[in-house]
Structure 1
Amino acid sequence: MVIAAVYFVIAATAVVSLARSLDRQMEGPRLRAAWAGRTAEARCTDVRTEEVQDADGIPVTVSHATLEFRTESGRTVAFEERRRQLDAAEGDLVTVYYAEDAPEGATAQAPTFGTRRARGLVAGLGCAFALATAAVLAGVL
């Protein structure tokens, strides 16, 4: 029983740490702050393309749009969208999300359930799996 409890504590700690790391890699804090803030219409002022390789080593062309918008306080902000999937041509209007105190962290990525809750989902499911395996381990010992 003690072994199962120790296993559960170690596994749950590892899962929570993994979830936090994943959240930082997915830029979760920046995106959640932007989504909780304001929206604005941004104009695409430039599209930069680059050649990269996908996971299989196949060359892929990726576009990065530069978007410019005006905050409610009247400040003009330009940023390069970090998302690869944004299909915008110069002159197109795009809705952007930004935090009032950090508009340079804006994004054109619309909030989705999975993206907003990724950290909690990974941590919750991982802890549930750790609890189930600890219960099995306790029953075996």
Structure 2
Amino acid sequence: MVIAVVYLVVSLGASVICGRLLDRQLKGPQLRAAWAEGLTAEARCTAVRTEEGQDAEGGLVTHRYPTLEFRTADGRTVSFEERQSRHVPAEGEFVTVHYSARNPEGATTRAASFGMLHARALITGVGAVLSVAIASTLALVI
């Protein structure tokens, strides 16, 4: 029984840590801040930077990062490189960006999604459910 309790405590802690780390890796806090205020603007793509690299199998992968420029509600012009977008606009093309008044440089073209809004809670919750299930099994077996 003690082993099951120790496992439960350690695995719940690991679930919380993994949830936080994955959320940060996916830029969750920055994206949620951009979506929270509901501010949007039309941004123009001023340039597209191309970067080449290798994937896990050693194959060549090309990444394209657009530089977008928009005007905030208070009239400030902001330019940023979008690294989260699935769609790369052509130079001169307009796209909608979501931004926060406190940090307009953290803008994104990605629309809010349930998964990104709740990524930390989902990962932590799944880990907690698995932890309880495995700890319960350990307690019954041992």
**TM score, norm. by length of structure 1:** 0.95
**SS in structure 2 at match of 1:50:** strand
8 A contact 1:65–1:86 mirrored in 2: no
Alignment partner, residue 53 of structure 2: 52
Q: Structure 1 residues 52 and 61, CA, compared in 2 at 3 Å: closer, same or farther?
A: same
Alignment partner, residue 11 of structure 1: 11
Deviation at 1:55, TM superposition (A): 2.0
Show CA shifts across 1:44-92 (max 9, x none). Answer: 1111112111222111221110000011011100000012522201111
CA-atom RMSD in angstroms: 1.1
8 A contact 2:45–2:90 mirrored in 1: yes
8 A contact 1:64–1:86 mirrored in 2: no
Alignment partner, residue 43 of structure 2: 42
The list of structure 1 runs, each at least 4 consecutive aligned residues, that deviate by more than 6 angstroms after superposition, is none
**SS in structure 1 at match of 2:106:** strand
Give, as a single letter, the amino acid of the residue that structure 2 aligns with 1:105.
G
Output the CA distance in 1 between the equivalents of 2:59 and 2:128: 37
| 1:1-141 equivalence runs, <5 A | 1-37=1-37, 38-83=39-84, 85-141=86-142
Runs of 5+ consecutive residues of structure 1 not aligned to the other structure: none
Aligned residues: 141
**SS in structure 2 at match of 1:66:** strand
Give, as a single letter, the amino acid of the residue that structure 2 aligns with 1:60.
V
